[in-house]
Every structure is written in C-alpha cells, then in structure tokens.
Structure 1
Amino acid sequence: MAEYAKQGDRVAVLVDCDNTSPEILEYALRVVAQFGRVVVRRGYGNHATLANKWQEALVRLAFTPCLQYQYAAGKNTSDIALALDALEDLFDHRADTYCLVTSDSDFAYLCRKLRERGATVCIVGEDKTPDALRNASDQFFEYQKPEAENAKVGTAKKSKKRPKALIAAVSLMAAESAEGWVGLGALGQYMRRTDPGFSPQKNGYGGLLEMVESYPGLTTRRDGGGHWVQVKEKAE
C-alpha cells in the first residue's frame, strides 16, 4: 500500500468492535504506522461490547470509545455511526488515509465512497472477511490469530502456490514494454491493485522475487539496482 499512501498522510483508524476481537488492534496499528500519523483512533460498539472485552484495549491504546445503544433488538447502530463519522472526517479534512478494522461486508459501500472522494482505504480483518469488502479497499491485511500463525509456520514450505494471475499480469504488462521486461516493483503494485489481499507470504514465499523465480514460465534479471521479469517465450 506504500504506493497509495504517502508517509505524511493523516490516518484514521476506525474499529468495528462488535465485529472483531481486541487482539487485532495492535496488529492494525503496526500496519498503519508505515503510512503516516494516526490522528483519529475510535472504537465503535454497544454497551456490552465496550464495557467488557474491549475496555482494556481501547484505554491502553488511547482509542476513543464511541458507545452506541441499540434502539431495537437486532439493529446495529454502531455501523451507521462509524460510517457517518468517517465521511465527516473526510469532509472536514481530518484524515487522508482510512483503516477500517472489521470483517463486515456492510462497509464495502463506505470504502467505495471514501475512495471516490480521493481517500486511501485499507481493511484489517480476519480470514472470514468476504471478497466484497476485501476488493472494495486499496489493500487488505489479514489478521491471523497467534495459534493460527504458529500452525502455518510448519506448513509454509509445503503450501507454496503459483497463482495463474501473476503470470497473466506479467504478460499483460509486458505488452506495453518494447523489450517485454516488467519491473518487479511495478508488478507488485499491479497485483495489489487487482487483488488487495495479494501477498507472496500468503502463497508460501518470503517475497515477490522468490515467488516469481518459482515460475517455470518466467525469467528474471537484475539491472540498475532493481529486478525485472519477463515471460520466457518472449525472452527466447
């Protein structure tokens, strides 16, 4: 997401406390630290949520609790409050980049409206996050619970994947190049734009270069301080 957000951006972190757990909060702050200064920190939820499991985390990490009472059973007023506050912050020029901490696809429309107005939007959510929300953001960051992370460490080498979308992206971008070479950085940006949840690590690799080099149909070279990728058929 570094290509979208600038280091001097003002960042708003808005948390859907009714939809996720407090453990995700520190991960979200680590994610957005690279994008700029966090100027807005708010956690939205009903009384049962904010007064119990979320109270310690919100206080310790200096978040403003935004309590929303449920006026009728089954109605979630917190979502509406979060969306209205996000738009108000945008119109008042309080923030340039938004991090929504949620796995609720109801926020997909909010993401689209923020981006239409020029804001950068990232989502920090769990594995259950629907594609509709992932793809509505500039970049999706998936939070893995500690036990899940530990379980994946032992299986990472066995679960390496080579999605066809990557080689298709190289072919498409190479068509715009006279010699058919694609910059590795530009390839990474393209992949994240087409799939906000794209990550070499999720596919079992340490980085994009390692991932690209695993494709039999691709060749790489180093030139000018950077790496370049080409379809082998083009190279031949």
Structure 2
Amino acid sequence: MRDNDKKKVALFIDSENISYKRVDEIMQKLLDFGEVCIKKAYGDWRKENMRGWDEILSKYSIEPIHIITGNVSKSNSSDIKIAIDVMNVLYGGSMNCIALVTSDSDFAPLAQEIRTRGIQAIGFGEGKSRDDLRNAFTSFEEVGKQEVKEDLSNNRYLINLLKNAVESTMDDEGKSMVSRVGLWLKEHYFKTASSYGRDTWGEVFRALEDVFEISYGGKGDKVMYVEYRPKKPHRRYLRR
C-alpha cells in the first residue's frame, strides 16, 4: 500500500483516569484509524493501583512516562505533561490524528485545540466521561460497553452502502483503508458505526466477512484494509 495513504496516529493515555483493562479494546479500535506511530502512557507508576499496567505496556510497546506526583495534584502533573507532549507533536507536523485516552473532562480544551489546528482528535473514555469531554473530540469512543449486537449479515442496505464506500475510496489494488471508508460515510451519509450497533467500522466489516475481505498493511501490519469480495451474491438496492 502507498505510504501517503496511511493515517499516522499519536496515542496519549492518561493512565490514572482509565483502566488498563480497556487498552486491548482501544488498540483494536485504533486499527480503524491508521498506524499508531507514537504510544505513551502517563502516571505515577509507584502507586499500588497502577501495578496492572506493567503487562499491557509491554504487550503494545507503549512508552511509560513516569509522573512524580508527591503532594502535587494530578491535574498539575500528568495533565500538563500530556498537554506539552501533544503540543510538541502538533508542532512537529508528522501526525494527522491524535488519540487521547482519558475520562477526565479537564482534557476537553486540549481536544478542542487539536481540532482547531486541523488535526483529527479521537477520544477514548469510559461511561463516566462527561458530555463536555465527549463533544470536544472529532469523535469519541466509549470503551467498556457490553451490549447485544445486531446481526448485520442480512442488512442489504448496509452492505450496498459499504460497497459504494469501498469502491469510492479504494486504491489501485481495489482495497480501501477502513479509516477512509469511515470518513467517506460520515461525509456523504452522516453514518457512523454506532448507527449499526458497533463501536468501529472495523467491527462492522468483521461482522460481514462473507461479503468483505479484510487484510492488514503498514508497519507491523496494523492498518486495516477492506475489499468488496462477496462469497455469495447480494441483491443491489442502492444506486451510486
């Protein structure tokens, strides 16, 4: 795949305001957005409640940034360091998507600043996240949810909609980055994966693997691509 088609993502995790148990889910969701080139997690790693992070940081090669809090409030330590590192990435100009993992509404102004600079701001947080935080991002993904998911295999309208999206964004090999498909659907049909009971478009495509073939590319094969290759014929309801 062409390098200039890959969205480059910088990930910053506020470890004191999110459970380490959510990281597997977050990393899976990020496959839909592009290649995660920068991965950092912030916290006072001496604390007892941070011990569960060791294994997950190693698993995903996430750089741990140690914040010595002492008598200093958390908002004057981790928050400031995250903000500085995010701004350095913005000034560097090499990333076109920044993901913040936090349930702390203090990060809402930072998310808004990212967006004003023309960079996609993706938020990940738990159900306790306030609306002002959720609305500050380009998109906000709630993690830790459990719900009964609709069977999409017989949704012909959705299948034809996705077919059009893939064909409109595919490269010379007939494949399209899932992140580009999602942006196209949002722009042309105001659709998101949540419209179909899924958190990401990657989950939608995984539910339709009889119709769409999924592959991975980019550094470490971490960027999700999709191709329209039905294993059985589907009637066409949607005209281009």
* Amino acid in the other structure paired with 1:127: G
- Relative to structure 1, is the Cα distance of residues 38 and 187 closer, same or farther in structure 2, using a 3 angstrom cutoff? closer
Q: Which residue of 2 aligns with 1:128?
A: 128
2:44, 2:108 → 1: CA distance?
Answer: 21
Figure out how many residues of one structure are paired with residues of the other and give that number: 169
Q: RCO (CA 8 Å, sep 6+): is it higher in 1 or 2? A: 2
Q: Which residue of 1 aligns with 2:111?
A: 111
- Relative to structure 1, is the Cα distance of residues 110 and 100 closer, same or farther in structure 2, using a 3 angstrom cutoff? same
**Does the residue aligned with 2:141 lie in a helix, a strand or coil?**
strand
Q: Which residue of 2 aligns with 1:201?
A: 197
* Amino acid in the other structure paired with 2:108: A
Identity score, percent: 29
Q: Which residue of 2 aligns with 1:153?
A: 148
Q: Where in structure 2 are the equivalents of 1:191-230 lying within 5 Å?
A: 199-201=195-197, 222-225=237-240
Give 1:93 deviation, angstroms. Answer: 1.8
Q: Which residue of 2 aligns with 1:211?
A: none
Q: Is this contact kept in 2: 1:126–1:144, CA < 8 A?
A: yes
Q: Is this contact kept in 2: 1:50–1:65, CA < 8 A?
A: no
TM-score, normalised to structure 1, is 0.62
Look at both structures and tell me which one has the larger radius of gyration over its CA atoms.
Answer: 1
Give 1:33 deviation, angstroms. Answer: 1.1
Query: CA RMSD, aligned part only?
Result: 3.1
* Amino acid in the other structure paired with 1:22: Y
1:99, 1:135 → 2: CA distance?
Answer: 14
Q: Which residue of 1 aligns with 2:53?
A: 54
Q: Is this contact kept in 1: 2:185–2:191, CA < 8 A?
A: no
Question: What are the superposed Cα offsets for residues 150-180 of structure 1, whole Å, 9 maximum, x if unpaired?
Answer: xx329x89xxxxxxxxxxxxxxxxxxxxxxx
Return structure 1 stretches of 4+ with deviation > 6 angstroms.
none
Q: Which residue of 2 aligns with 1:10?
A: 8
- Relative to structure 1, is the Cα distance of residues 50 and 95 closer, same or farther in structure 2, using a 3 angstrom cutoff? farther
Give 1:90 deviation, angstroms. Answer: 1.0
Q: Which residue of 2 aligns with 1:21?
A: 19
2:139, 2:48 → 1: CA distance?
Answer: 27
- Relative to structure 1, is the Cα distance of residues 188 and 21 closer, same or farther in structure 2, using a 3 angstrom cutoff? farther
1:52, 1:62 → 2: CA distance?
Answer: 16
- Which structure 2 segments of 5+ residues have no match? 152-183, 205-235
